[in-house]
Amino acid sequence: MNTASIKYYSTNGRSPVVSFREATIRGQAPDKGLYFPDRVPQLSVEFLAKLKSMSKAEIAFEVIKPYVAGEIADAELFRICEETVAFDFPLKKINGRISSLELFHGPTLAFKDVGARFMSRCLGQFSKQQSQKVTVLVATSGDTGSAVANGFLGVEGVDVVILYPSGKVSKVQELQLTTLGQNITALEVKGTFDDCQAMVKQAFADSDLTDKMFLTSANSINVARWLPQQFYYFYALQQWEGDEAPVISVPSGNFGNVCAGLLAHVSGLPTSQFVVACNENDVFSGYLNTSSFHPKAAVATISNAMDVGNPSNFVRILELFQHDHERIKRLISSYSINDAVTAETIAEVYKKHNYLLDPHGAVAYRALDFYLDEYPKRRGFILETAHPVKFSDVVEMITGQEIAIPESIRGLLSQEKKSQVINAEYGDLKEYLVGMP
């Protein structure tokens, strides 16, 4: 892989080009755009040839090294990669056509552990060079908050403030982000995820606030959260059996995950098609059909982490394909799955194949099933992004079966949440941030 230095420009085109370090610390560009690499490194033939024999840490290091561009010493970067992927990513066959890449074997049982662990360790390195304390400000629709809270817990020189929509995350998700204490604070917002995300974006654009404190984001808008999500696509291909490239179905909300997979594809990872699996928040399907993007108010569903009506990372997909709608439409299909079909899918797959899906995985499964009905000679896999126990109320009601509680969750259920309730008003958020010690 070519390791020449990569820089990052803003998708809005009105901010200076920066290094990986500065893009990580800033989170969002000053002109409110998202940082994007000025080139996409290409995988070497040698790398792809030895992929199946490499360790997870070796793959992660080789994939991410060009993006970090010497901002972290190789030995330290390799250590960060080892810690980031220090758990399993098994590809399990559900039936003859569909497999499941399980991304829930990390500490908070969700795919976002990868990005959060990588970013926290990078920011920990960079904060040592900062005289001013760094405040990580993040909005979550579910799993981002718990993964970020766990990844940053106890990181010196970094405070974390998490905004989440009241009553719109699962019990386990809420406990994971509200019970840690130390340098982690949870703000329970009386609104939607889109409200939380809008408040975070407004904070970054508020020069009066950013002059007083050093803010960065740990949402997938941050390059250090987004880029390492490529890793598990490589781990899937490492385990993939057969000569044909797979179809990959990704449950999609804020689009950071699928955009990372598309980045890996453009780098040269062999894939045949991506399926963007949406719940009733289906603005992407409208874009594919019309070439026009029209954000909508988010609709609450049982696959709550995907309840996003204005996905931030959509602009990165446009950048990746030079705003070429036809090229995007050739590579990406999309299906919208409502709650009734999601529930039917969880029940059906459990009954027929003895495999338990969480609601997000069920959306991905049904979308891939629809695609494969149109192209029956193909095979693929879904990204199973969270352990079903994180949505136990929904899944147990559908299947009639009690979910075995993993050890990492058992102790959490007896703890009391600690959150501060605020209105979905930017003034409330700013008042809290200004008052922080």
Residues with catalytic function: 112
**Torsion 387-393-396-397 (CA) sign:** negative
CA angle 43, 48, 365 (to 5 degrees): 95
SS (H, E, C) the chain: CCCCCCCEEECCCCCCCECHHHHHHHCCCCCCCCEEECCCCCCCHHHHHCHHHCCHHHHHHHHHHHHHCCCCCHHHHHHHHHHHCCCCCCEEECCCCEEEEECCCCCCCECHHHHHHHHHHHHHHHHCCCCCCEEEEEECCCHHHHHHHHHHCCCCCEEEEEEEECCCCCHHHHHHHHCCCCCEEEEEEECCHHHHHHHHHHHHHCHHHHCCCEEEECCCCCHHHHHHHHHHHHHHHHHCCCCCCCEEEEECCCCHHHHHHHHHHHHCCCCCEEEEEECCCCHHHHHHHHCCCCCCCCCCCCCHHHCCCCCCCHHHHHHHCCCCHHHHHHHEEEEECCHHHHHHHHHHHHHHHCCCCCHHHHHHHHHHHHHHHHCCCCCEEEEECECHHHHHHHHHHHHCCCCCCCHHHHHHHHCCCCCEEEECCHHHHHHHHHCCC
CA–CA distance, 157 with 57 (Å, rounded to integer): 27
